[in-house]
Chains A and B, each alone.
Chain A
Amino acid sequence: MSVLVYTENWDGKFKKLSYELVSYAAGVAKMAGTSVTAVSIGKVEEEELKKLGNYGAARIINITGSQLNILDNQAYTSVLADVAQKEEATVIVIANNNEGKALAPRLSVRLKAGAGSGVSKLPLSLEPFTVYKRTFSGNAFAHLVINSDIKILTLAQNSFDLVETDNNAVIENREMSVDGSLLRTTVNDVQKQTGKMLLTDADIVVSGGRGMKSPDNWGPLEELASLLGGATACSRPVSDEGWRPHDEHTGQTGKIIAPNLYIAVGISGATQHLAGISSSKYIVAINTDKDAPIFESAQYGIVGDAMKVLPKLVEAVKARK
């Protein structure tokens, strides 16, 4: 048995998510009495690669190739399948994010490997191989048995604590190419926002709903988020109304996030909204309606008008040591 983990990089850098993946893979490897091999695709400096060792990777396979500059699902699948077969990997760990969701299913078919997606705990057992995964948008969790020889697990973001070790990982550089007929994706244009904290990366999220009353009232909410080093989000009605951009919508059909702290301001807490935030470690609810369902999911609550409460919070954050 060996554990392979695919560590995605962003312009040559790893993120906390990459270290969560390696920590998780190291946990699985420990259960199985084996070691972790991390795979990275694209140009990443040696100094950066070595960081994966700090979370338990014993070996790091650093793959570069001129055909791998853009994400082509077939090309990347082919590369990862090739590595998995050579390494005789029996467990493959991938992120449950956009890229992971693009690659895991293809890899599953290629390797005839059953997949458990959105796992948030170490496997419950190895024999039979049973994972714990989110279902019904967070309203239930399933014990899923994977019967195939190779298992693919996609890890829910921010669900597994980092575990630091002092592994001195061995780095192997490989130049790889793929069959040209697989390269069928053309990227014509890239539109990236810069300078804005990504919602899915944020440890703290301050989110507004209809209780904010008007798109003009977001000033104190943004200020609070910025003072706490967090990101801003919103409920679906707010993005549908065009008060806030769609990429801020958190909820079942929007973004699913799991920050350490989620502050819901003027959000009643419909089931569909809770589906996007229920994995947050702490939820704070601020709402004028004391019967709003959001208070049932919150650890801390303030019954009051957002426009009066937010300035008080801003003031308190500024005053703290």
Chain B
Amino acid sequence: MKILVCISNVPDTTTKIKFAEGNASIDTAGIQWVINPWDELSLTRALELRDDASTGVKSVTVVHVGPASSEPTIRKALAIGADNAIRVNAESPDAWFVASQIAEVVKQEQFDIVMCGIESSDYNGSMVGGMVAEFLGIPSVSAVSGINFENGQPVLTREIDGGKEIVTVPVPFTAIVQKGIAKEPRIAAMRGIMMARSKPVKLYEPVAGDPLTKVVEFEKPAPRAACRYIDAENAGELIEILQNEAKVI
């Protein structure tokens, strides 16, 4: 069984976002790029499954759609332990385009499980995983917080409102993964970092596809009014304010 983990690279989550080109794009100067947090958790779980001989998972490949400048992110995934890496050599203008590229890679390389993070922390789209599945006509399970194997077959935990379901689907399928899939992201060890340097990154040229959406402008959230302090000794006053001024209780 072969797993593909889709990796997006995003600004480190503590980055103060600044805009460029008259607010039409993000100012990338000084940004530290990291693997999207949900993708990192997906990769961690995929590696745990590969390292457990009873699952029958033989390899974990990562795929990224991005220009050569995103290669450090791919190397990081290899250093963490991915066996193979693929980069589709294109900018990623929107989810539709990215998903169509990944679908093509899956068609060429025949993976059993495609794992995608439920969203990326930059565009918060929650689109790519489901789109890949629809492009391929294969099942997708969303809000997956667990993947285990029973009798050689994957068993998924799907989050629903107020609980969870235990779900099975035949391979190949796409798992759209959220928090809970792995406890902590796996960290690259020195040996992994050394080995990652020499592992090849397979290059795909993009297939034709027009993006359907385009960001034309960014803006900052509206600033909140300054905090109004209530003395701790008279904390009960807060309740009166919430009731009579803010009118939220």
Contact = CB atoms under 8 A, between A and B. Distances in A.
Contact of A252 (B13, B159, B215): B13
Given A304-B232, A316-B239, A188 B166 contact: yes
A55 interface: no
Contact of B134 (A110, A200, A295): A110
Interface in A190-230: 190-194, 196, 198, 200-201, 203-204, 228
A216 to B, nearest CB: 21
B140 A115 contact: no
A253 B40 CA distance: 11
B228 A187 contact: no
A142 B126 contact: no
A271 B11 CA distance: 13
A184 B170 contact: yes
A275 B159 contact: no
Contacts of A252: 13, 37, 121
B161 A200 contact: yes
A252 B36 CA distance: 11
A96 to B, nearest CB: 7
**Secondary structure call for the A interface:** mixed
A105 B167 contact: no
Interface string B99-122: 100000000000000000011011
A140 B215 CA distance: 12
Given A117-B127, A139-B221, A102 B142 contact: yes
Interface in B133-167: 133-135, 139-143, 155, 159-167
A113 B94 CA distance: 12
B224 interface: yes
Interface string B12-42: 0110110100000010000000000110010
**Secondary structure call for the B interface:** mixed
B235 interface: yes
A73 B179 contact: no
Interface in A284-321: 284-285, 295-305, 308-309, 312-313, 315-317, 319-320
A168 B151 CA distance: 54
Given A136-B122, A145-B216, A73 B139 contact: yes
Contacts, number: 279
B170 A144 contact: no
B163 A193 contact: yes
A300 B239 contact: no
Contacts of B122: 135-136
Interface string A105-119: 111111011111110
Contacts of A114: 94, 96, 212-213
A187 B168 CA distance: 7
Contact of A116 (B11, B213, B231): B213
A193 B230 CA distance: 37
A199 to B, nearest CB: 9
A102 B166 contact: no
Given A186-B169, A204-B249, A303 B238 contact: no
Interface stretch (B47-55, B83-91, B200-208, B240-248): B240-248
Given A148-B212, A260-B248, 12 more contacts: A105-B126, A108-B212, A109-B130, A114-B213, A115-B95, A130-B216, A140-B218, A145-B215, A147-B211, A201-B161, A228-B249, A320-B243
27 contacts: A73-B130, A73-B133, A98-B160, A101-B119, A101-B176, A104-B127, A108-B95, A108-B130, A109-B96, A116-B213, A136-B121, A136-B124, A137-B13, A145-B216, A147-B211, A196-B162, A246-B180, A296-B227, A298-B227, A300-B227, A301-B228, A302-B229, A302-B238, A313-B235, A316-B236, A317-B249, A320-B243
